[in-house]
């Protein structure tokens, strides 16, 4: 395969491989992103539904808190009105009542003493247009309903004898009673609390609807027996109207909403709040999803089982009218105990999948564009590589022709250079042997003088090192002194801070005393505040004591720091005197080294002159030998160059030069190398006083490897 074909194949393959790698990376990333987006969307759906359920729960709690404050105010007014009217009592005359159970509307006749407040008779006013004592005053003041009950029997059934609560017919609910047992046989929590002498606060069924209410017992004159009870309350429907509107405005996801179902009594499984109020009051206890699951029952069970503050979750499949398949729905559930409500915030899972669809569409478009661009780039690279390969191969062919011609010329010149260098090397070698002996004698004399100079130089260096060590020690002591000064300054600043703390503690103590005085003036209402003020004063006094102790310790630290500064100053002075003595020794060592150098200077000049003559001679001999060796090596390189040119021609595909055969090349190499072999023997047998130097100077020819009188592998001609 020619170099042109290789370039085209290589360029096209690289681009195609890169495109495939990018495409594989995009496909892998698409799969990974799809999985990650799915996990994130699932987490987001749980977070959004929980956030909506929590918001609804907070709204209910806020409404309940407002209602409780309102009812407590109404209860206080009820107490005041009863106190004004007089204590509850009974006349000797009885009244025949047609008592109606508020739950099942069953009636019974009963005879009870006439009940009054002071001198005001309470019973038998059914007409809402006729004013009723106490209860109508509460209605006018607070708009809340009020009732006064009379105990019917030992079981504790309570009869409404005076009330502002109306029936569905518009009459007062006088004559209706609350039984001590609920329709399911359980104890009525209101009656149970009243008979035990306690108040009841919470959700209660009043005549025909649920109220948020407060009941309080009425006792006889001896405060021993419960003879009745009072009630103030408001209809849940009325007090939660604004809350219902707010809850219906909550949106979960794209189409989700918040709903409320009851959990107890006849409201268990009944819609309290539905989507847009369309199904409010509808019983959905037996509702099933697309898979036949009783999802409302399961949702209520999960909400009731959840710990306070926890959110329960439920999923079910639901198919709306007009939809071909059921969709999975996620619901976050919260239980609001004061009203026995289960609050659900639900949304379809696919409401949260828009982000995944958008991301997948983007990656698909990117993949298509990547495939298109890869095809365009591969085509462009193929065309460009053809022109590029052609542009490379043409100059290479021309260069090969020139290299072949140059190799022939180099081979001829190297043969002539080899012969001339051999003759010059022989004469230079004999002259170098004589100068070598003279140079050896002078070197021995110079060696003794140099040793004396070196010893003096060592003394100077040791003195200089001692001086530097002394200077360094003095500098470190100076730094220590500065650090001690900085510590003393920092301790001063800390002392100021402690003083400020002491002043703050003093001011706090004064404020605590003032607060205690004011609390004492406030009497029993300020007892708690007085306790707090006393604790604050105690803390202020402890802070003052701690600040005083800290100030004393800091003052002691300042004293010790000042002593440290004085000691470091004394050490610095002593070190300065040591440094001065070391400098004097250093000066004497410098003078001694200078004298030794001047002593050896004369011998050095003589030795240098002889050495220069020896170097020139040795250099001449070495250059001559190197020239001969270089000529042989140059010839071998020329042959190798011709072989390389031939191989390159075959790679490019256009053979323009012919390489001489191996026999011709071997003959040329042998002829160039033979004279060097003949000259090598006399150089190696020269006898001089310093054989080591002779070998170093003229041993270049011996480094050329030979086998049977011929050069095996040319080496570098440079020697040194």
Distance CA 24, CA 652 (A): 36
Domain ranges of the chain: 86-239, 247-326, 379-642
Distance CA 638, CA 406 (A): 9
Give the Å distances, CA to CA, from 633 to 237, 334, 643, 667, 675: 114, 97, 15, 14, 14
Query: H or E segment at 202?
Result: strand 200-206
| Contact in structure between 158 and 228 (CB atoms under 8 Å) | yes
Query: H or E segment at 290?
Result: none
Q: Classify residue 101 by burial, with Cβ atoms within 10 Å: 0-12, 13-18, 19+.
A: middle
Please give the distance of CA 118 from its chain centroid, rounded to a whole number: 74
| Contact in structure between 214 and 199 (CB atoms under 8 Å) | yes
| Contact in structure between 81 and 137 (CB atoms under 8 Å) | yes
411's torsion region: left (phi>0), alpha (psi -120 to 50) or beta? alpha
Mention every residue, 6+ apart, whose C-beta is less than 8 A from residue 261: 269, 270, 271, 272, 284, 296, 299, 300, 341, 342, 344
Query: H or E segment at 94?
Result: strand 88-101
Distance CA 506, CA 376 (A): 85
| Contact in structure between 263 and 294 (CB atoms under 8 Å) | no
Reported CATH class of domain 86-239: alpha beta
Instruction: Show the low-confidence residues of the chain (pLDDT under 50).
Output: 655-720
Q: State residue 713's pLDDT score.
A: 45
Residue recorded with tokens 């009459």 = 171
Q: What is the tens place of the pLDDT at every residue in 512-540?
A: 888 888 888 887 777 787 788 888 878 88
Q: Dihedral (C-alpha) 448, 450, 454, 455: value to the nearest 10 degrees? A: 30
Give the tokens for residue 94.
């009885």
Q: Which residues pair with 100 in a beta bridge?
A: 107, 176
| Contact in structure between 275 and 259 (CB atoms under 8 Å) | yes
Give the other-Cβ count within 10 Å of 325's Cβ. 7
**Which residue in 348, 314, 334, 323 sits closest to 259, CA to CA?**
334
Q: What is the tens place of the pLDDT at every residue in 565-587?
A: 777 778 777 777 887 877 777 78
Please give the distance of CA 335 from its chain centroid, rounded to a whole number: 35
Q: State residue 453's pLDDT score.
A: 73
Distance CA 147, CA 149 (A): 6
Q: Classify residue 152 by burial, with Cβ atoms within 10 Å: 0-12, 13-18, 19+.
A: buried
Q: Classify residue 704 by burial, with Cβ atoms within 10 Å: 0-12, 13-18, 19+.
A: buried
Q: 3-class DSSP state for residue 336?
A: strand
Give the tokens for residue 468.
């530097």
Distance CA 165, CA 199 (A): 20
Q: 3-class DSSP state for residue 414?
A: helix
| Contact in structure between 219 and 314 (CB atoms under 8 Å) | no
Neighbour-count burial for 399-416, b at 16+ CB within 10 Å, e otherwise:
ebeeebeebeeebeebbe
379-642, CATH topology level: Helix Hairpins (1.10.287)
| Contact in structure between 233 and 142 (CB atoms under 8 Å) | no
| Contact in structure between 220 and 68 (CB atoms under 8 Å) | no
Q: 3-class DSSP state for residue 35?
A: helix
Helix%, strand%, coil% for the chain, nearest 5: 65, 15, 20
Report DSSP letters for 490-525, one per residue.
HHHHHHHHHHHHHHHHHHHHHHHHHHHHHHHHHGGG
Residue recorded with tokens 């969709």 = 327
Neighbour-count burial for 352-383, b at 16+ CB within 10 Å, e otherwise:
beeebeeeeeebeeeeeebeeebeeebeebee
Q: State residue 355's pLDDT score.
A: 65
Q: 3-class DSSP state for residue 318?
A: strand
- For 171-252, where are the alpha helices, taking DSSP H only? 189-195, 236-239, 241-248
Give the tokens for residue 118.
């002071």
Q: State residue 34's pLDDT score.
A: 67
Mention every residue, 6+ apart, whose C-beta is less than 8 A from residue 361: none
Mention every residue, 6+ apart, whose C-beta is less than 8 A from residue 146: 74, 78, 134, 135, 138, 139, 163, 164, 230, 231, 232
């Amino acid at each position: 395969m020619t170099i042109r074909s290789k370039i085209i194949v290589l360029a096209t393959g690289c681009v195609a491989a890169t495109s495939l790698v990018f495409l594989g990376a995009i496909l892998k990333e698409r799969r990974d992103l799809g999985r990650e987006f799915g996990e994130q969307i699932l987490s987001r759906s749980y977070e959004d539904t929980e956030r909506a359920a929590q918001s609804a729960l907070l709204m209910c709690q806020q409404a309940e808190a407002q209602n409780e404050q309102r009812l407590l105010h109404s209860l206080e007014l009820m107490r005041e009105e009863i106190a004004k009217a007089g204590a509850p009592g009974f006349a000797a005359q009885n009244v025949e009542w047609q008592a109606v159970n508020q739950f099942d509307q069953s009636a019974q006749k009963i005879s009870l003493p006439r009940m009054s407040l002071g001198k005001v008779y309470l019973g038998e006013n059914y007409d809402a247009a006729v004013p009723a004592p106490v209860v109508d005053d509460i209605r006018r003041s607070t708009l809340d309903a009020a009732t006064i009950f009379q105990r019917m029997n030992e079981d504790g059934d309570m009869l409404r004898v005076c009330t502002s609560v109306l029936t569905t017919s518009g009459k007062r609910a006088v004559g209706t009673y609350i039984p001590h047992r609920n329709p399911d046989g359980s104890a009525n929590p209101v009656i149970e609390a009243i008979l035990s002498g306690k108040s009841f606060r919470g959700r209660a069924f009043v005549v025909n609807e649920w109220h948020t209410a407060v009941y309080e017992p009425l006792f006889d004159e001896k405060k021993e027996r419960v003879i009745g009870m009072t009630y103030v309350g408001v209809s849940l429907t009325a007090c939660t109207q604004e809350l219902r509107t707010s809850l219906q405005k909550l949106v979960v996801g794209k189409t989700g909403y918040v709903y409320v179902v009851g959990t107890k009594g006849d409201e268990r499984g009944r819609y309290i709040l539905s989507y847009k109020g369309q199904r409010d009051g509808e019983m959905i206890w037996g509702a099933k999803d697309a898979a036949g699951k009783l999802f409302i029952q399961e949702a209520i069970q999960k909400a009731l089982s959840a710990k306070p503050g926890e959110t329960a979750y439920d999923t079910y499949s639901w198919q709306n009218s007009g939809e071909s398949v059921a969709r999975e729905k996620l619901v976050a559930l919260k239980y609001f105990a004061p009203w026995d409500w289960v609050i659900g915030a639900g949304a379809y899972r696919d409401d949260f999948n828009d982000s995944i669809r958008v991301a997948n569409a983007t990656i698909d478009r990117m993949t298509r564009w990547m495939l298109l661009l890869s095809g365009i780039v591969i085509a462009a690279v193929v065309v460009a590589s053809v022109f590029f390969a052609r542009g490379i191969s043409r100059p290479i062919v021309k260069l090969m022709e020139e290299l072949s011609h140059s190799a022939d010329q180099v081979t001829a010149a190297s043969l002539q250079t080899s012969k001339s260098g051999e003759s010059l090397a022989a004469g230079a070698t004999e002259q170098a042997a004589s100068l070598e002996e003279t140079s050896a004698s002078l070197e021995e004399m110079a060696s003794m003088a140099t040793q004396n100079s070196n010893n003096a130089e060592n003394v100077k260096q040791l003195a200089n090192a001692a001086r530097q060590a002394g200077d360094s020690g003095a500098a470190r002591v100076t730094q220590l002194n500065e650090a001690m000064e900085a510590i003393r300054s920092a301790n001063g600043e800390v002392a100021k801070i402690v003083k400020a703390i002491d002043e703050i503690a003093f001011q706090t103590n004064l404020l605590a005393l003032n607060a205690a005085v004011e609390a004492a003036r406030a009497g029993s209402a300020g007892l708690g505040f007085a306790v707090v003020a006393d604790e604050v004063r105690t803390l202020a006094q402890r802070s003052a004591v701690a600040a005083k102790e800290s100030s004393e310790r800091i003052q002691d630290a300042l004293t010790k720091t000042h002593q440290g500064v004085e000691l470091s100053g004394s050490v610095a002075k002593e070190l300065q005197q040591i440094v001065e003595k070391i400098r004097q020794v250093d000066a004497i060592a410098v003078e001694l080294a200078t004298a030794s150098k001047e002593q050896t200077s004369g011998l050095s000049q003589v030795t240098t002159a002889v050495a220069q003559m020896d170097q020139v001679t040795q250099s001449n001999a070495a250059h001559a030998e190197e020239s001969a060796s270089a000529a042989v090596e140059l010839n071998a390189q020329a042959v190798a160059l011709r072989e390389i040119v031939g191989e390159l021609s075959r790679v490019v595909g256009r053979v323009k030069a012919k390489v001489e055969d191996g026999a011709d090349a071997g003959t040329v190499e042998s002829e160039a190398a033979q004279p060097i072999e003949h000259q090598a023997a006399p150089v190696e047998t020269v006898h001089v006083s310093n054989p080591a130097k002779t070998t170093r100077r003229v041993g270049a020819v011996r480094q050329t490897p030979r086998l049977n009188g011929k050069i095996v592998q040319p080496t570098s001609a440079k020697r040194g």
